[in-house]
Structure formats: structure tokens, C-alpha cells
Amino acid sequence: MHTMLDKVTRDVWDASVAQISCLNGSNGNAVTELSQADVDRAIQYLDDNDTEKMTPVIDGASRFGTGPVESAFWVVAHVNLKPDIRALNAFVPTSQYGAQDAVLQSEFGATEEARWVTSTLVKYSSASPPVYNNTFVGANAYGYISIDEVATEMIMKPLGFNDYLNRFQSMGFTAYFNAAILDDSHIVTLLSTKA
């Protein structure tokens, strides 16, 4: 159910968020692979629009091989881009964060002012090569609403419900839900290919 509601939110992003293309990669296409210069351009877009960061600073700790992480915007990228994200100059994996308290389950790592979350639900084109959406999200960029606390309902019917041979059961849900871009200057999608 939550995956479906997440898909609705991402469809709203894909339909109405400004897009910029990666230009500084080496593949020679109109849209190139991720580069730190292009990530910096997306962050500059958000900074130029006075966008607040989504995450606080993660303090350093006295653990070997770890360090602090800057306050950052969230970036939602496809799991296929993990090698490209890892290849960025400023990449720090979550295992090297000074503290693990604020790390999301699907968080992959950070590059300066961006913390990367990966998912299979992120859109990409059917072109050759595929073009991937990397959405940079600042504070108050989007929101969602359900009508009330009972707007979502799970419905389960046991075996044999309205079935003379006891062959079928069903499970589903209903939800009154909507997502919206609240300030389109606080969210941007960086288009990239896979290296």
C-alpha cells in the first residue's frame, strides 16, 4: 500500500518538476552520466531559490574511518546508478557517517550537500541509453494529504467468500490520497545516463 502511495507521489514529481540535464560527463550524448559538476549545478539551482536543506548536520564521532556529514538536500536516484554515485569525487558511504541515528534504510551515501536515497521506483526512459531521473528535494518542496486518519482501509476476504468451491480469497486497499508540489523552486530533477 505504501509503495503505491509512494508511486503516486513520484508521478507528481515526474509530471511537474523542473528538469536539468547532466552535461559534464564523457559519453558525448545530449544527456551525460552523473558528474560532480552537474550535481553542483542542481544544488546551485536550489541555493539560488533560497531552498532550505532537508537534513541536519551529522556530527563526527571518535570512531575510526568516520566523519561528519553536511546538512543536505535529499536526492532520490535509481538503484542502477549506485556505481555512478559511488564514483562521484565527494562520495561518502553511509558506513563512514559519524553517527547512524539519522540514516534512512535506503540511504546510499552523501556527496557534500546531497544525501542520496536509491529506489527501484525512480523513473527512467526507454531510450538507448536510458535517461534516469535524479530528483533533488529541499524543505517544503512537496506535500501529501489523506482525507482523515481512516482514509486508508485494508480489505481482506477469506477463502470461500462468495465462492462455492472455496477457491478464492482477496486482499486489497482503498485510499483517499493526493500529493502536490508546494514550491516548484525547491525541487529539481537532474537527468543522467548510466556510465
Q: What is the pLDDT of residues 59-98, one digit of tens each?
A: 766 666 677 788 899 999 999 999 999 999 999 999 888 8
- Span 138-159, average pLDDT: 78
In angstroms, what is the C-alpha Rg of the chain? 20
Q: What is the pTM of this model?
A: 0.81
Residues 6+ apart with CB under 8 A from 114: 39, 42, 43, 72, 73, 74, 75, 136
One-letter identity of residue 159: L
Residue-wise pLDDT for 52-67, tens only, equals: 998 888 776 666 667 7
